[in-house]
């Protein structure tokens, strides 16, 4: 992390170049202002169903970009980023089993693979902070807690499963602000899906999340739940496809596009 701190002023392109050269770091807080994205790669025969799945479940899986089969270079989120090398760390699943953690997937790339880039919560967290809404796990230097909820995603082809949600403790007086601010970022999971009692989401023990670190709740904080992009990778690996490649948790794709360009007032 110290080396990462030293390079905080790098541009998205410079970060991607560092990752291509083998540098590995979580991407939280890097290239502030720029959008980051979840990665899912699969064979083209499943890709249309996966696109359908994402569209039917836009809160957990806001689609940002789909590659053309065999083409590893991005066109929309960045000009010609190499999806096989420009992410710090990849997880490789075969038939639903995590088999490898690697910094480069060029040797695995074939002409029938398709990449998906899906919105990530870092965008709205930055907006919360800049509007004075505290984000407890960032204050605490830990990862956001994530839970497998009881909300069924709408299935498509081989893809189905429960929605994964992320939780942030928000002071009661700031819940409205947190809702209206994050609603401006539909491609970054948008407004919360649930405010309050975790049991209604089927979460029995808030202190033991399914992914990430235990929650940080201060007195007076309300647990607020947002749809989470981990849903996409979980659903893809649950489908037990011959090959699924995702980013390692927290090691995202850094785009040339600003978070604000993906907000409701940005873009064209």
Binding residues for its own copies restricted to 82-121, rule: CB under 8 A:
114
CA separation for the pair 238, 154 (Å, rounded): 15
Residue 98 or 264 having the CB closest to its own copies? 264
Q: What is the contact mask toward its own copies in residues 21 to 40, using x (rule: CB under 8 A)?
A: --------------------
CA separation for the pair 98, 95 (Å, rounded): 9
b/e sequence 223-260, b meaning 16+ C-beta within 10 Å: bbbbbbbbbbbbbbbbbebebbbbbbbbbbbbbbbbbb
Q: Are 258 and 266 in contact (CB under 8 A)?
A: yes
Query: Candidates 67-75, 88-96, 97-105, 195-203 — which segment interacts with its own copies by CB under 8 A?
Result: 67-75
- The binder of its own copies chosen from 55, 106, 218, 240 (CB under 8 A): 55
Residue 31 or 156 having the CB closest to its own copies? 156
Residue 107 or 268 having the CB closest to its own copies? 268
Smallest distance, its own copies to C-beta of residue 222, A = 18
Q: Are 266 and 188 in contact (CB under 8 A)?
A: no
51: its two tokens = 């696109």
Which of 250, 265, 253, 252 has the alpha carbon at shortest distance from 181?
A: 265
Contact between 160 and its own copies per CB under 8 A: no
- The binder of its own copies chosen from 31, 47, 133, 138 (CB under 8 A): 47
Query: Candidates 15-23, 55-63, 208-216, 238-246 — which segment interacts with its own copies by CB under 8 A?
Result: 55-63
CA separation for the pair 97, 78 (Å, rounded): 30
Query: Candidates 84-92, 132-140, 185-193, 241-249 — which segment interacts with its own copies by CB under 8 A?
Result: 185-193
Binding residues for its own copies restricted to 225-264, rule: CB under 8 A:
227, 264
Contact between 152 and its own copies per CB under 8 A: no
Q: Residues 19, 261, 163, 238: what is their CA dihedral angle, to the nearest 10 degrees? A: -40
Which of 38, 235, 184, 185 has the alpha carbon at shortest distance from 119?
A: 38
- The binder of its own copies chosen from 157, 171, 214, 249 (CB under 8 A): 157
- The binder of its own copies chosen from 24, 26, 29, 51 (CB under 8 A): 51
115 CB-near residues (< 8 Å, 6+ apart): 39, 40, 41, 65, 66, 67, 72, 83
- The binder of its own copies chosen from 184, 189, 247, 251 (CB under 8 A): 184
- Name the β-bridge partners of 114: 42
Q: Site residues (CB under 8 A) for its own copies?
A: 44, 47-49, 51-52, 55-56, 58-59, 63-69, 75-76, 114, 151, 154, 156-157, 183-184, 186, 190-191, 193, 227, 264-265, 267-268
């Amino acid at each position: 992390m110290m080396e990462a701190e030293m390079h905080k002023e790098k541009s998205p392109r410079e970060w991607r170049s560092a990752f291509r050269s083998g540098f590995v770091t979580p991407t939280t807080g890097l290239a502030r202002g720029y959008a980051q994205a979840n990665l899912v790669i699969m064979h083209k025969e499943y890709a249309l169903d996966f696109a359908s799945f994402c569209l039917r479940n836009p809160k957990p899986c806001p689609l940002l970009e789909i590659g053309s089969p065999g083409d590893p270079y991005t066109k929309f989120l960045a000009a010609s980023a190499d999806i096989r090398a420009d992410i710090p760390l990849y997880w490789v699943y075969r038939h639903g089993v995590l088999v490898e953690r690697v910094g480069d997937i060029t040797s695995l790339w074939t002409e029938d693979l398709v990449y998906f880039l899906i919105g990530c919560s870092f965008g709205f967290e930055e907006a919360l902070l800049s509007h004075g809404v505290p984000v407890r796990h960032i204050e605490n230097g830990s990862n956001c807690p994530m839970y497998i909820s009881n909300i069924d995603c709408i299935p498509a082809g081989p893809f189905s499963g429960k929605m994964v949600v992320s939780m942030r403790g928000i002071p009661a007086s700031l819940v409205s602000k947190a809702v209206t601010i994050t609603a401006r970022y539909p491609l970054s999971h948008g407004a919360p899906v649930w405010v309050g009692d975790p049991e209604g989401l089927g979460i029995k023990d808030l202190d033991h999340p399914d992914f990430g670190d235990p929650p940080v709740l201060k007195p007076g904080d309300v647990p607020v739940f947002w749809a989470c992009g981990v849903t996409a990778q979980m659903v893809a690996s649950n489908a037990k496809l011959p090959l699924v490649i995702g980013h390692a948790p927290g090691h995202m794709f850094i785009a040339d596009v600003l978070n604000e360009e993906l907000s409701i007032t940005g873009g064209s």
